[in-house]
Amino acid sequence: MSHATVHVLNGPNLDLLGVREPHIYGTTTLADIEAMCRDVASGRLEFHQTNHEGVMIDLIHAARETGGGIIINPAGWSFSSIAILDALKAFDGPVIELHISNIHARDAAHRHSVMSQGVTAVIAGLGAQGYPVAVQAMYRLLAT
């Protein structure tokens, strides 16, 4: 079991998963996703969601204190937040950017994530199943 903490951070509107645009994001709720992550966790796991950019930055900064890695679904901030990108660049551990939909197959406004330049890996298009995949991958990254 890893002693490092995996921080799963979720951005704006992800608290509405299951009801918001289910044709894109599915019907799985964020609580369901958290349970899926905890089921596969082999170490400490912190799970958060915020609709406030400053709170997200504070969560990233706090993750620096515990080590480990970050899995972040920046949601709408993916395409615009230099402040979150800068916070991620200041994090020393691995970072996995996660998207429920395949952003590369979406409209122009949802196609290019500025976060990608500051992360270790990107998972997109696996739906809610991307989360447990990311958690398992993160523990493997932390073990090497």
Note down pLDDT in tens along the chain; length 144 residues.
457 899 999 999 999 988 877 777 778 999 999 999 999 998 899 999 999 999 999 999 999 998 799 999 999 999 989 999 999 999 999 999 999 988 877 666 666 788 988 999 999 999 999 999 999 999 999 998
DSSP structure string for 35-55: HHHHHH-SEEEEEEE-S-HHH
Q: What is the pLDDT of residue 111?
A: 60
Residue 107 contacts residue 44 (beta carbons within 8 Å)? no
Report the sign of the C-alpha dihedral through residues 89, 92, 98, 104, in that order.
positive
> 12-65+85-143 maps to which CATH number?
3.40.50.9100
Beta partners for 7? Answer: 46, 70
**Residue ranges of domains in the chain:** 12-65+85-143
Residue 48, C-beta contacts closer than 8 angstroms, at least 6 positions apart: 7, 8, 9, 10, 59
Q: What is the pLDDT of residue 1?
A: 44
Residue 113 contacts residue 17 (beta carbons within 8 Å)? no
Q: What is the pLDDT of residue 135?
A: 97
Give the residue numbers marked as catalytic: 25, 99
pTM of the predicted protein model: 0.92
CA distances, 44 to each of 9, 47, 104, 139 (Å): 14, 10, 31, 10
Q: What is the pLDDT of residue 113?
A: 84
Please give the Cα distance from 94 to 25 (Å, whole number). Answer: 25
Q: What is the pLDDT of residue 98?
A: 97
Q: What is the pLDDT of residue 18?
A: 85
